[in-house]
Every structure is written in structure tokens, then in C-alpha cells.
Amino acid sequence: MADVKKYGFVIDPRRCIDCRACLVACRAEWNTPEGQTRIWVHTDGPHGTFPNVAQTWVPAQCHHCETPWCVEACPTGATFKREDGLVLIDSEACIGCGLCVNACPYQVRFRNKETGKADKCSGCYTRVDRGEMPACVATCVGGARLFGDFNDPASTVSQAIKGQTVYRPISENVNTGPMTYYLAPPDAAQVQVTPQPREDLSAEVFWRRWAIPFVKLAVGVTFVGQAGAFILQLLRGENEYEDGAV
């Protein structure tokens, strides 16, 4: 078993019965405000032709991507990726700008209406660090949500996808390395979880990469200039400065 963990989810929509106990468990664990949620159960269907009609429910949450666009977009470093793969938010460092919310191609981030800060699934890292499963996984009565270490071949998630046809929610244009594997016919899962790149992402990346560093540089140069002038004034002496100024 590798020392470094690689956490992620395996979702089997065929086992989801839409009881939504996972949503309740998530809100109870994280005190998410009324009307906001960190996880979802998407409804797909009914599809098919009578009498062969079926309905699928597709659990979803942050995919804790391998190359997360939200981390790229965050101007303060508040959003970061742990060594074990979980993408987290340091709420102390978050300024509530919402750039990460717009950057996520899965639209699983939101601005918490009580804190004004970015919010999303944290993989229940506090539970995981205690050796427990995320609340949604521990509560799922059908076993539709699984979580674990993909670097461990004996883990539940590694065993669940072994020899299976899996669907990773990526598209031709978007591949952030989502660490969620769906065990379902692609058509059913694709409907609800295909990533959608945001149109304004380029403007946000421009802001983060160029505008913010430029403003920081300008402020820094101004500060250094002011400090230099102040030190010069001290070295010359107050009187000499005043004489010279008259």
C-alpha cells in the first residue's frame, strides 16, 4: 500500500433510491445553511419507451479533481489541495470573491449565504482523518456512495472499480481529473455530471495571473519608494531637509 493516499469517490447510480439521507447527513455534519447543500442527487429520467421505462438517480458532489480549476482561480490560496487529494477551503483566507465558484466546471461550489465564504464538499476530512467515512457515505443505505484510497488496491473503491466499466465525468474540452468514478451506463451519468466550462473563466484567469500581481507590484514599488524617501529624509536630517525645501 502506498504511503501517499489518493482519496476519491465511487458512485453507483443503480444503487441509489433517492432517499436523500446523504443530503441530511451532510447538512447535519457541516451545518450548511437552509436551502444550500454540498452534495446532490440528480434525477435522470424517466427515460425509455413504455413498458421499458426507467428512472436513475445520480449522486454527486465535488470531485476533488487532480488538477482543480478552483485552486487555479483562487487569488488568495484559500482553496488548496491536500497531499491525499482532498480539495479544501481555508475559510480564514477566503475573501468570498467567488472566482472559484465560477471556475468549477461542475458547479459544485457556492457562496455560503451565512458566512459569505466559498463552500463545498470537503470530503468530510475531519471524519476521514479520524479513520471514518464521509457522512454521506456512512449514511447511504443503498451503498451508492463509496469513498476511499485509490492508491490502496485493497480499498473499497479500488475493489469496486476493479474489472468494471467506469465512467469518469470528463468531456472533450474539460478534464480536471475528477476523482469520482461512476459505475453506470455512461448515458445515464453523462446527463447530469458532464462538466461545463464557464464562459468567463479566461477573464478570471487574466485577473488572477496578471491584474492582481500587477496591483501587488505597484503597491510594493510605491511602498518601497515611500520608505526610501523616508530613510533619505532621516539621513539628511530634518533641518537640512527643511532648509532645502524653502
Work out the burial of residue 137: count CB atoms within 10 Å of its CB; fewer than 13 is exposed, 13-18 middle, 19 or more buried. Answer: buried
Amino acid type, 93: A
Using CB under 6 A, pick the residue from 108, 124, 135, 144 that binds ligand SF4.
Answer: 108
Q: Which part of the chain contacts ligand SF4 (CB under 6 A), choosing from 48-56, 88-96, 104-112, 157-165?
A: 104-112
Decide the pairing of beta strands 180-182 and 7-11.
parallel
CA distance 124 to 63: 13
109 contributes a contact to ligand SF4 by CB under 6 A: yes
Q: Where are the beta strands (DSSP E) in the chain?
A: 7-11, 40-49, 52-60, 79-81, 87-89, 110-111, 118-119, 145-149, 180-182
Closest separation in Å from C-beta 42 to ligand SF4: 14
> Which residues, 77 to 96, sit near ligand SF4 by CB under 6 A?
87
62 contributes a contact to ligand SF4 by CB under 6 A: yes
Using CB under 6 A, pick the residue from 8, 13, 68, 134 that binds ligand SF4.
Answer: 68
69 contributes a contact to ligand SF4 by CB under 6 A: yes
First to last CA, the chain: 78
Distance of CA 98 to CAs 89, 94, 101, 111, 173, Å? 12, 9, 5, 7, 23
Q: Which part of the chain contacts ligand SF4 (CB under 6 A), choosing from 13-21, 35-43, 106-114, 217-225?
A: 106-114
Closest separation in Å from C-beta 138 to ligand SF4: 21
64 contributes a contact to ligand SF4 by CB under 6 A: yes
Q: Which residues bind ligand SF4 (CB under 6 A)?
A: 62-65, 68-70, 87, 104, 106, 108-109, 120, 176
